[in-house]
Chain A
Amino acid sequence: MKIEDFSFDMDRREFVKKVLNGAIAGSLILVFPMDTVGVDSQMGISQSDLNLRLPEEIPGIKNNQYDIHRQKFAFVVDITRCIGCGSCCVADKREYNVPDGNYRTWVERYVKDFDDQIYVDCPNGGLDGYQKPRDDIQTGVRDTFFVPKLCNMCKEPPCVQVCPVGATFMTPDGFVLMDSQRCVGCAYCIQACPYSVRFLSPVTKTAEKCTWCYHRVRKGLLPACVEVCPTGARKFGSLNDENSEVYKILKGPGVLTVLKQSMGTLPALYYIGQRLEVV
């Protein structure tokens, strides 16, 4: 067997020289940008350059003119897939720096015992994940499931109807958004929302809500909670894209439900596998 000799002839001085040269060359990368294309002298990296680096998560939006009147989206929550890990809640809190004790989205835990009693809880909005089973249920547990909640993006939104200054509004592409510069903080929208997804921010003293990450969607990115969901329980996509999962679900034969249908709010948030007990 031939044994190759890997010893290389370089003295210590030469080695230190090369390491130093490499370190200086490497540090220059930090000082000068790699290329000059798309560099804004003020901002560092230009918007167009940033767009080039973004992945295309919602097909058809990136590098295309966004026609706000033609875009249509849907959000589907598959209850049968949710494992209550709380990743979505953490992602949401980090995306918006949501003040403690207030929630743009949360995950509820439903426990059904053998007496058909339903126990629901949502400690800390599900942010910590459901790592331990409930220990306060005396009879045997028959079933457990998790229900993520977020803005229903109603097509007839009561929050928009009641806002006295038009601070909350509906975009032509179906998003119910807040203008925090205009909001007077009267909390009427909070009272009017049947799903309690709104809160008055203790920081800005204005109403806040889930936006389905509109700022991300406009760049072709998925909402933060959808992005991190490890089981695909949260699904989002364009209804103009016939290949999108939400399009197939909505146009398919499966059973879909919405929350509080009797309220007549016509939500754009659909649930798969929603149980009778879910309110």
Chain B
Amino acid sequence: MNPNLYEAQSTLSHGASMLISNYVFPNDLHVHWSMMIVLYPYITGLVDGAFIIAALYYLFDVKSLKPVARFSLLFAFAFLCCATLPLLLHLGRPERNFNMLLTPSPSSAMAGFGYIYAISMGVLSFIVLFVYRPDLVERGKKSKGVMKLIYRALTFDSDDLSKKALELDTKIIRFLVGLGIPVAAVLHGYVGFIFGGVKANPTWSTPLMPVIFLFSACVSGISAIVLAYIVIRKLGSLSIDAACIKTCIKTLTGFFILAFSFEMLEVFSHSYLKTGYHHMVEGLLNGPLASSFWLWQVKICSVIPLILLGFMAFVKMRDSIYLPISTIVSAILLLQVFIMRWNVVIGGQLMSKSARGYTVFHPEWFDKEGILAVIIIMTIPFIILYVLGKIFPFWGDAIKGSISSKPVRKTGGN
């Protein structure tokens, strides 16, 4: 047995006698929800966070976010396209996946997935098409044959770029984004509820779960946008808008404080309330998850970014220092959210419902839910993003002849 587990046991009077045999129910030895179910909330989280950035610009008029607004939408769209892949790989009978839409069981939270996903996809697709309508009209005019037809369909067969038409577009975009916020919140909050609604698992069964998932989603999505913006602009030798990054980091700081607070609140509640299976949860966090939770999720990937974010908030610094720190913080927070998902999904299943022992999980490389599959799935959205970038320009300053294009400042903001 793990020596840390022995330590954990020695501090528990009743718990010690419960854990002594490390007995796992025979059917609990296998971890049924593995890396694909870690990946699924991670991907939807990225979608949600990226959408928040777009919403801040299109609905709440946070002008400084303009440079990343369009990119955020495309980023969210690319990842949303792949959100179902891990689920399909996970299902024992993926060929029956449409049963969830055709014969849903109204009592099941999971049965709502197909509808929630379809609505999210629909709303996001329309937002992208309306935001890019002027560009698509321009492209449609230059194209011929089938491509012209495709552009006509994508622009809703309207090549009207008059001021009045564009104002209507803006109104539609605002409406759709306003609709998109609750839809995005439901899409990801629902994933949290899938876990929070499992009363058989004491680490999952908390009303805080959807809240934690939602805030951590915002953290991962905003971090991804910051990191992707800086990396892609650097690779393309384009200027980086520091004011935009600063707004992103400020938003990120707020969401991360909320996410981390709720994550810690859940642990604190367990240890303070000492309800039901608290000794098992305590043993889990101090035993099998001691390294991935306390060391990686909390100390390395939460405390360090918190210190850095605090430093960035309170200390005035040059852009040449601010931007690299932003990149590092974003990368660490992306990892934090992934580890958090891992600890919730896989960590929660390590604890047997016998309340007497823990099982182990060994990720495999070539399994259909293995590490290679994870890498492939996480690569696909970037390929989609690359292809999308050919039709829908990411940045306003790269568009020529577009009415919405305004060159961004060559050097960073303040």
Give A contacts to B, CB under 8 Å.
Answer: 101-103, 106, 108, 116-122, 125, 149, 158, 160-166, 182-188, 190-200, 204-207, 262-264, 279
Contact = CB atoms under 8 A, between A and B. Distances in A.
Contact of B356 (A120, A195, A263, A264): A120
Identify which of B27, B198, B199, B349 gathers the most chain A CB atoms within 10 Å of its CB: B27
Contacts of B25: 122, 149, 195-196
B26 interface: yes
B105 interface: yes
Chain B interface extent, by class: 35 or more
Interface of B: 17-18, 20-21, 23, 25-30, 32-33, 90-94, 96-97, 99-100, 103-105, 107-111, 113, 194, 197-201, 276, 349, 352-356
Contacts of A163: 105, 108
Contacts of B353: 193-196, 279
Contacts of A206: 92-93
B200 A183 contact: no
Contacts of A194: 199-200, 353
Tell which of A102, A106, A120, A186 has the most Cβ of chain B within 10 Å.
A186
B17 A116 contact: yes
Given A162-B109, A164-B108, 4 more contacts: A184-B99, A192-B198, A200-B92, A279-B355
B96 A106 contact: no
A160 to B, nearest CB: 7
B199 A103 contact: no
Contacts of B356: 120, 279
A183 B228 CA distance: 40
Given A161-B108, A184-B99, A196 B32 contact: no
Contacts, number: 134
A263 B92 contact: no
A187 B32 contact: yes
Contact of B354 (A196, A200, A204): A196
Contacts of A102: 26-27
Given A164-B110, A184-B97, A185-B92, A118 B32 contact: no
Contact of A117 (B17, B99, B200, B355): B17
B319 to A, nearest CB: 48
A263 B198 CA distance: 11
B32 A190 contact: yes
B205 to A, nearest CB: 10
B364 to A, nearest CB: 15
7 contacts: A103-B27, A160-B107, A165-B99, A185-B92, A186-B110, A196-B353, A279-B356
